[in-house]
Amino acid sequence: MAARLGLMAVPVAFFALFFAYPVAAIVARGLKVDGVWQFGRIADVLGQSDIRHVLWFTSWQALASTGLTLLVALPAAYVFARFDFPGKQFLRAVVTVPFVLPTVVVGTAFLALVGRGGLLDELWGVRLDTTVWAILLAHVFFNYAVVVRTVGGLWAQLDPRQEEAARMLGSSRWAAWRKVTLPALAPAVAAAALMVFLFTFTSFGVVQILGGPTFSTLEVEIYRQTSEIFDLATAAVLTVIQFVAVGAILAVHAWTVRRRETALRLVDASVTARRPRGAGQWGLLAGVVGCIVVLLALPLAVLVQRSLDAPDFGYYRALTDADGGVFLVAPIEAIGNSLEYAVVATVIAVLIGGLAAAALTRRDAGRFVRGFDALLMLPLGVSAVTVGFGFLIALDEPPLDLRATWILVPLAQALVGVPFVVRTMLPVLRAVDERLREAAAVLGASPWRVWREVDLPMVRRALLIAAGFAFAVSLGEFGATVFIARPDNPTLPVAVARLLGRAGELNYGQAMALSTVLMVVCAVALLVLERLRTDRTGEF
Amino acid sequence: MLLSLEGATVRFGGRAVLGAVDLGVAEHEIVCVLGPSGSGKSTLLRAVAGLQHLDAGRVLLDGRDQGGVPAHRRGVGLMFQDHQLFPQRDVGGNVAFGLRMRGAASRGEQDGQVRELLDLVGLPGAGRRAVASLSGGEQQRVALARALAPRPRLLMLDEPLGQLDRSLRERLVVELRELFGRLGTTVLAVTHDQGEAFALADRVVVMRDGRIAQSGTPLEVWQRPADEFVARFLGFDNVVEGTVVGEAADTPWGKVPVPAGAVQGVRMLLVRPAGVRLVSADSGLRCVVVARTFKGTHVAVQLEAEGAPRLEAACALREAPGVGDVVGVEFDGAEIVVLG
């Protein structure tokens, strides 16, 4: 128990300092007038019909987006887990790229696809940007990878013989899947669904661009109240409401996961995949590939096409030019900044998240530890805007003045990345048979050696996936970074947003070009990760 | 005593899984704990290994209290029921694990020791094989080599042969006893299989509901089961209540002879099948044959007498009656045990 508390000390301190403290600061700034708490403000804000409308829309669009994402992505998770086909690695990376794109770029790409003057408009005169469908499709685009990676990663390691055993006991193929595989996958599906729900519940960039004046989420409203109306009090109240809602969702999730937790029989992922057989399986594969092409590749293709819409790579060449006036430096330098920040943020996130996951692994974890599990998820649910704004107002005065240091940006990005690391590693860590650890202990391995010798080799894959996610999230992080990135050190998403915020063909084209660069950087990083993964599967 | 348990108690939610167990294992001794599943045998091993916290009592190794000593510093070996080989390591990596943790030997010395151990357990040259490619018997051998590698002062085996097929089990149990004798290993094993326990152990400890029901050499336990539970667990079904007076006892099967010096009064009696002699139908206890089972060396015959429990008799192959035959039964006092 003492050892576990020791493991948790670092993550707890990290969260207290860089999450709880800034959030407390912003809430106090909003709700405290002349040193007196004004809790009546909460009722006032909730009494406004437009706020209630925002709450209602935020909830149902998140639910609809989650359902739609699961519907589209679960067959893909199956295909990636169980089928072997040429180009699988590449396709897996393609699937993950959208997730790491800045929300602003996704919004713009979909606008270019389904908006006014977009591809569909040009071809058939179809426009979706005035309906909620544009938002829902963009959310599916975004979160497809969450489901495929979280669910598919576990699915690939489930022993197919378990299903065979059920079939020999008289179950139909469908019943065997439902009774054997589905319960084993349920925690991963729940984790993925929870992530998707939280991302869409707190969706910012996508709704900002595709929602127009009609559709507004809580997050957009908080941003609007903060930066346009400068009504900090209302923004703070909305933050509190979001906090409570997210806390409730997380509590339900923790409860379901705990109920379903089982030690799984994991096998090498490479032995469970085989070539599709029969028209049905090839059809399923074709359907999934078709879906990926239309839903994921097409918007990106449109994005690239727009970035090349000037002679001689004009938009790209303009990126090396500092004279544009949007930045103090050439936009191209944002690439270096982004990579440096993302590497540091990944190291922090993997360290903090890994420690937390190790501490949370034990089945006999008490109430306190489980509460900590939920706490770790909160940065996912609280708006990134709040994190960034909180950093700005809380960490800018002694004793903790970090405003002038570069570490502020990676810290904020790591904060957003940690829940990914924990979520990815925990299911796998918990699936490691406790008696394997005991076997190692009896052979003389100290708790630390047990972790290194037993847990680490088994979760290396999950750890790499987690690191990849943390890296991608850091690269694409926008909501918090936009508040704290210094003008002379912009990150890629911040640079894109600034370019988009300016009128003119050249700025728009440069934004497209820079987004394309970001997309390529992400794709390369992920392809490297994929390569790393194949090299290690033998050890699994 | 190398290992002593003093009043070792483990409770799961108020239920005592181990109830004040006292047990000693001397150096070079092979002790086998025998009991049905749920009797607390595995918990006993886990408590000695340091994987299970004791609610009361002590575990002593070489006379030193192990309270507060974590599992990895106790220097005991434990072979798990389903082996628990590390799936991501090959056979050699599994066997070398304990050596690496002890950190004493160089890489080359480790390789040498792994080779010796694999030879010892009958798997020469298997070091590079993946554990997933091993058969059940081979896994068992690797698990044994892995447990032996760090030279534990006490080796514990949890159902060591439980998952193997019968012929392999019978062969391996002989090999194990030979091997432990040669190495002078001190062994504490648990099993639910009496044949395994009797073949392996110097001393057998029968457990029931977290308590020790009987302890003794295999011969002692076999010849004089302590009570009805032990007798039935050993596979004897002819257990019945009777009133012992002098050298005879009154039972539902009639008057049966008992050994001289038997405890007097109302007692449980065990009648070994070998002590049930079949005679012609007009003498002794009148019984009907209801079933017969071929046992290889003899035939087990199930007999039913009016108003009495079933009776099992062991018959020579040629003399066994058929089902439905009516026979007479007489009892041999030397094969009857008055239980405690």
Model confidence over B288-335: pLDDT tens digits?
999 998 888 889 999 998 888 899 999 888 888 889 999 999 999 888
**Is residue A324 predicted with pLDDT exceeding 60?**
no
Note whether B209 and B245 are same-domain residues. Answer: no
Percent of chain B with pLDDT over 70: 100
Task: For residues A402 and A393, give the distance between their C-alpha atoms in angstroms, rounded to a whole number.
Answer: 11
Interchain contact, A436 vs B146, CB within 8 Å: no
Is residue A158 very low, low, confident or very high in pLDDT (cuts 50, 70, 90)?
A: confident
- The closest CB to that of A444, out of B51, B86, B98, belongs to B98
| Per-residue pLDDT at A345 | 92
Whether A24 has a pLDDT exceeding 70, the answer reads: yes
- Specify the pLDDT at position A539: 27
Same domain, B213 and B74: yes
Better-predicted residue by pLDDT, A396 or A479: A479
Q: Which residues, other chains included, contact B49 with Cβ-Cβ below 8 Å and sequence gap of 6+?
A: A438, A442, B71, B74, B76, B78, B156
Beta strands B285-294 and B326-331: pairing type?
antiparallel
- Beta bridge partners, B327, equal B287
DSSP letters spanning A330-399: -TTHHHHHHHHHHHHHHHHHHHHHHHHHHHH--TT--HHHHHHHHHHHHHHHS-HHHHHHHHHHHSEETT
Spatial distance between the Cα atoms of B221 and B229, rounded to a whole number of angstroms: 12
Per-residue pLDDT of A351-360, as tens digits, reads 988 888 887 7
Please tell me if residue B104 touches chain A, with a CB cutoff of 8 Å.
no
Question: For chain A, what percent of residues have pLDDT higher than 70?
Answer: 82
Evaluated on CA atoms B57, B63, B68, B71, the torsion sign reads: negative
Decide if A444 and B88 are in contact by the 8 Å CB cutoff: no
Contact B97 A440 (CB under 8 A): yes
Q: Going by DSSP bridges, is the β-strand pair B76-79/B154-158 parallel, antiparallel, or unpaired?
A: parallel
Backbone φ and ψ of B211, nearest 5°: -125, 155
- Same domain membership, residue B188 and residue B286: no
Q: What is the least distance, in Å, from the CA of A404 to any CA of chain B?
A: 47
The torsion defined by the Cα of A155, A158, A159 and A162, in degrees rounded to 10, comes to: -90
Boundary (domain end) residue, out of B228, B256, B276: B228
Among candidates A441, A443, A457 on the partner chain, residue whose Cβ is nearest the Cβ of B88: A457
Residue B153: DSSP 8-state = S
Residues B168 and B53 in one domain: yes
Give me B12's structure tokens: 């799961």
pLDDT of residue A256: 63
Residues B219 and B272 in one domain: no
Which pair of structure tokens corresponds to residue A468? 């990849």
Q: Tokens 């709040």 sit at which residue?
A: A386
Alpha-helix runs per DSSP H in chain B: 41-49, 91-102, 107-120, 136-148, 166-183, 194-200, 218-223, 228-233
Chain B environment of A436 (Cβ under 8 Å): 84, 86
Whether B98 and A443 lie within 8 Å, measured CB to CB: yes
Hey, are the CB atoms on B146 and A443 less than 8 Å from each other?
Answer: yes
DSSP A32: E
Q: Count Cα atoms within 13 angstroms, Cβ side, for A319.
A: 24
Q: Give the model's pLDDT for residue B312.
A: 92
Taking 90 as the threshold, does the pLDDT of residue A337 lie above it? no
Question: Same structural domain for residues B44 and B91?
Answer: yes
Residue A265: closest C-alpha in chain B: B87
User: What number is the average pLDDT over the span B108-137?
Assistant: 88
- Which of B228, B263, B297 delimits the end of a domain? B228
Tell me the sheet residues that pair with B277.
B330
Angstroms from A540 CA to nearest CA on chain B: 5
Are A107 and A208 spatial neighbours (Cβ–Cβ below 8 Å)?
yes
Residue B179 and residue B269 in one domain: no
- Pair of tokens at residue B246: 């002098």
pLDDT band at A496 (very low <50, low <70, confident <90, very high): confident
Cβ <8 Å between B78 and A442 = yes
Contact list in B for residue A444 (CB cut-off 8 A) is: 72-73, 75, 98, 101-102, 150
Structure tokens at A90: 């590449």
Asked if B97's CB is within 8 angstroms of A453's CB, the reply is yes
How far, in Å, CA of A135 to CA of A252, rounded? 26
Do B171 and B218 lie in one domain? The reply is yes
Cross-strand bridge partners of residue B292: B301
Decide if A394 contacts A21 (C-beta within 8 A).
yes
Residues of B within 8 A of A263 (CB-CB) are: none
Question: Coil, helix or strand for A54?
Answer: helix
CATH of the domain at B183: 3.40.50.300
Nearest to A442 among B49, B88, B89 (CB): B49
Q: Tell me, what CATH number does B335's domain have?
A: 2.40.50.140
pLDDT 10s digits, A251-293 = 776 676 665 555 566 666 666 677 777 777 888 888 888 888 8
- Restricting to A residues 437-456, those with a Cβ less than 8 Å away from any Cβ of B are 438-447, 449-450, 453-454
Per-residue model confidence (pLDDT) at position A264:
60
Rounded to an integer, what distance in angstroms lies between the CA atom of residue A88 and that of residue A202?
32
Phi, psi of B299 (to 5 degrees): -120, 130
A149 close to A93: Cβ distance less than 8 angstroms: no
- What is d(CA A331, CA A340) in angstroms, rounded to the nearest whole number? 15
**Region of poorest pLDDT, from A434-443, A463-472, B199-208:** A463-472
Chain A positions in Cβ-Cβ contact with residue B76 (cut-off 8 Å)? 442
Residue B59 has pLDDT above 90, yes or no: yes
Beta strands in A32-118 (DSSP E): 32-33, 36-37
**Range with the poorest average pLDDT among A483-492, B252-261, B322-331:** A483-492
At A88, which amino acid appears? Answer: K
Quote the CA–CA distance of A530 and A381 in Å, as a whole number: 29
Q: Which token pair is A233? A: 């009090």
Strands (E), chain B: 3-12, 15-25, 30-34, 56-61, 64-65, 76-79, 154-158, 187-191, 203-208, 211-216, 239-245, 248-251, 254-257, 265-271, 276-279, 285-294, 299-305, 311-315, 326-331, 336-338
Shared domain check, B249 and B219: no
What is the 3 state secondary structure string of A210-251?
HCCCCCCCHHHHHHHHHHHCCCHHHHHHHHHHHHHHHHHHHH
Q: How would residue B219 be classed by pLDDT, with cut points 50, 70 and 90?
A: very high
Instruction: Characterise A382 by phi-psi region: left (phi > 0), alpha (psi -120 to 50), beta (else).
Output: beta
What is the Cα–Cα distance from A443 to A41, expressed in whole angstroms? Answer: 61
Interface of B with A in 168-207 (CB under 8 A): none
pLDDT at A363 over 60: no
DSSP A51: H
- Are B211 and B242 in a shared domain? no
CB-CB contact of B101 with A449 (8 Å): yes
Q: Closest Cα partner for A105 from A526, A520, A518?
A: A518
- How close does chain B come to A449, measured CA to CA in Å? 8
Which amino acid belongs to residue A154?
L
Claim to verify: residue B192 and residue B216 sit in the same structural domain: yes
More confident residue, A479 or B196: B196
Res B44 pLDDT > 90: yes
CA-CA distance, B240 to B236, in Å (whole number)? 11
CB contact under 8 A, A439 and B80: yes
Domain boundary among B171, B194, B228: B228
B297 three-class SS: coil
- Length of chain A, in residues: 540
Best CA proximity match to A8, nearest among A467, A360, A371, A463: A360
Q: What is the DSSP string of A429-462?
A: HHHS-HHHHHHHHHTT--HHHHIIIIIHHHHHHH
Domain match, B278 and B178 both? no
Best interface-test mutation with B: which of A1, A159, A270, A442 has the largest number of B CBs within 10 A? A442
Contact A444 B75 (CB under 8 A): yes
Q: Nearest CA to B82 among B129, B48, B42, B39?
A: B42
Which residue in chain A is spatially nearest to B85 when comparing CA positions?
A: A436
Q: Check if the beta carbon of residue A101 is closer than 8 Å to that of residue A303.
A: no
Domain that residue B54 falls in: 3-228
Say if residues B90 and B130 touch (Cβ distance below 8 Å): yes
Instruction: Please give the pLDDT value at position A185.
Output: 81
Q: What pLDDT score was predicted for residue A265?
A: 61
pLDDT at A540: 23
Checking if the pLDDT of A373 tops 70, the result is: no
Please say whether the beta carbons of A186 and A151 come within 8 A.
Answer: no
Instruction: For residue A370, give Cα distances in angstroms to A255, A377, A465, B36.
Output: 10, 11, 23, 37
Total domains in chain B come to 2
Residue pLDDT, tens place only, A112-150: 787 666 677 777 877 777 778 888 988 898 888 888 887
Report the pLDDT value the prediction gives residue A538, as an integer from 0 to 100: 29
- The answer to whether A355 touches A11, Cβ cutoff 8 Å, is yes
- Under 8 Å between Cβ of A295 and A72: yes
- A75 or A406: which leads in pLDDT: A75
Cα(B283)–Cα(B254) distance, integer angstroms: 13
pLDDT of residue A377 exceeding 80, the answer is no
CA B335 to chain centre: 23
- CB distance A445–B146 less than 8 Å? no
Give the span between the Cα atoms of A492 and A338, in whole angstroms.
Answer: 6
Q: Write out pLDDT tens, residues A175-201.
A: 777 777 777 788 778 878 887 888 888
